[in-house]
Amino acid sequence: MEQIKFLDLQKINALHGPAIKAATERVVDSGWYLQGAENKAFEAEYADYIGTAHAVGCGNGLDALRLILRAYIELGRLRPGDEVIVPANTYIASILAITDCGLVPVLVEPDQQTLQIDAQRVGEAVTPATRAVMIVHLYGRCAYSEQIAEICRRNDLLLIEDNAQAHGCLWHGRRTGSLGDAAGHSFYPGKNLGALGDGGAVTTDDPELAAMVRALANYGSARKYVFDHVGFNSRLDEIQAAVLRVKLPFLDAENRRRKEIAALYEAGITNPKIKLPLPVDSDSNVVHIFPVFAEERDRLQKYLADNGVQTLIHYPIPPHRQQCYRQWAALRFPITEQIHNQELSLPVSPVMTTEEVQRVINLINSWT
């Protein structure tokens, strides 16, 4: 029987094959490869989709977050040494962006049910040095809440969203990426909106921030050969922008298919050794990842692999247990650690067939 891949990027992009080829050919033939018409058009289309006044293309999702924080430093809203609250159970890039800017990450446990940063604990983690909260819409689930927004308002904290995993996700009719002061997006090929290489964007309603991000991403220059800030180079190239323009109009339909697959898993998986996540709420979850939890996670993963089903773990080692942050080795985050010990991500993608989903369900239900 054919292997069920975790994510079949070849099939996903083949859905748009002729349009992607026409778009890339258009860029190749134009003779213009950076900061041109495609980037400009994508920025307008993406800002419109997310519902913000501005979108600025950049090199990748990590850079999007770094650019936001660096821009706030340049604008005097953040200073090196300021504390930024961030979930302990995130992909390391959220935290790398913070330390890269000389800011201090304060790790906060998730809620055991939602798997998202625990608003109550966010409130408790605020100190006089806190200047920002970075929420991460992990697994494609909305992490924003009125409670977190209120904590930010009350303490005059910036609210930054890491929207790398949640393109298209809604909170009461508004898109994630438009809920805080600024948001970083990744178009890494495996994300719900993926390019054919690296890509990212910053969205915000703040024109000053957008202009600063744009300048910093272009060597700190807003005018050619005039450098007002110590910037770097992080731009979305024309080919990636053209590809993203092809795929963006299909994002909502592809997310709907992901939700159908999640609903099949939820209804179908009955093995008591498997713990399912909170059910998919139709709007506030775009199912970037479908996580299940098992005490014998590694044995389950091997069993599925032996039976032709590829799974991944998001993520095997939490950030505070990584060598790069060995200064945190003594910190204890029991919920985060339990998630990392028990989590297994089942295959989900817009090209997965119902028969394939059923095969995964049957395998899991007959696991002993």
Ligand X SMILES: *Cc1c(COP(=O)(O)O)cnc(C)c1O
Angle subtended at Cα 216 by Cα 213 and Cα 220, rounded to the nearest 5 degrees: 140
CA 319 to chain centroid, in Å, comes to 16
CB burial string 147-173: b at 16+ within 10 A, e below = ebbebbeeeebbbbbbbbbbbbbbbee
**Of 27, 62, 68, 209, the one binding ligand X by CB under 6 A:** 62
Binding mask 102-141 for ligand X (x = CB under 6 A): ----------------------------------x-----
Q: Which span sits near ligand X by CB under 6 A: 7-15, 34-42, 59-67, 106-114? A: 59-67
Residue count, binding to ligand X (CB under 6 A): 15
Q: Provide the sign of the torsion angle of the four alpha carbons 346, 352, 355, 356, taken in this order.
A: negative
- Closer Cβ to ligand X, 234 or 357, answer by number: 234
- Closer Cβ to ligand X, 57 or 200, answer by number: 200
Alpha helix (H) ranges present in 269-368?
297-306, 334-342, 354-365
**Of 24, 39, 60, 349, the one binding ligand X by CB under 6 A:** 60
- Closer Cβ to ligand X, 287 or 300, answer by number: 287
CA distances from 120 to 17, 284, 343 (A): 46, 20, 24
Q: Which span sits near ligand X by CB under 6 A: 16-24, 85-93, 228-236, 336-344? A: 85-93
Distance CA 228, CA 157 (A): 27
**Of 91, 144, 293, 325, the one binding ligand X by CB under 6 A:** 91
Q: DSSP string of 77-125?
A: S--TT-EEEEESSS-HHHHHHHHHTT-EEEEEPBPTTT-SB-HHHHHHH
165 binds ligand X per the rule CB under 6 A: yes
**Of 89, 90, 130, 145, the one binding ligand X by CB under 6 A:** 90
**Of 61, 277, 319, 347, the one binding ligand X by CB under 6 A:** 61
Q: Which span sits near ligand X by CB under 6 A: 16-24, 25-33, 90-98, 109-117? A: 90-98
Q: Which span sits near ligand X by CB under 6 A: 26-34, 158-166, 302-310, 326-334? A: 158-166
Shortest Å distance, C-beta 199 to ligand X = 7
Residue nearest to ligand X (CB): 61
Q: Provide the sign of the torsion angle of the four alpha carbons 308, 297, 187, 348, taken in this order.
A: positive
Question: Helix %, strand %, coil % for the chain, to 5?
Answer: 45, 15, 40
Task: Say how many C-beta atoms besides its own lie within 10 A of residue 259's C-beta.
Answer: 18
Amino acid at 364: I
Q: What is the CA radius of gyration of the chain?
A: 21
**277 in Cβ contact with 115 (< 8 Å):** yes
Shortest Å distance, C-beta 231 to ligand X = 18
- Closer Cβ to ligand X, 139 or 359, answer by number: 139
Distance CA 195, CA 276 (A): 30
- Closer Cβ to ligand X, 307 or 322, answer by number: 322
Token pair for residue 28?
């190749």
**Of 144, 188, 265, 333, the one binding ligand X by CB under 6 A:** 188
- Closer Cβ to ligand X, 251 or 264, answer by number: 251
**Of 47, 86, 93, 280, the one binding ligand X by CB under 6 A:** 93
Binding mask 193-222 for ligand X (x = CB under 6 A): -----x-x----------------------
Shortest Å distance, C-beta 311 to ligand X = 17
**78 in Cβ contact with 69 (< 8 Å):** yes
Contacts with ligand X, residue ranges (CB under 6 A): 60-62, 90-91, 93-94, 136, 162, 164-165, 186, 188, 198, 200
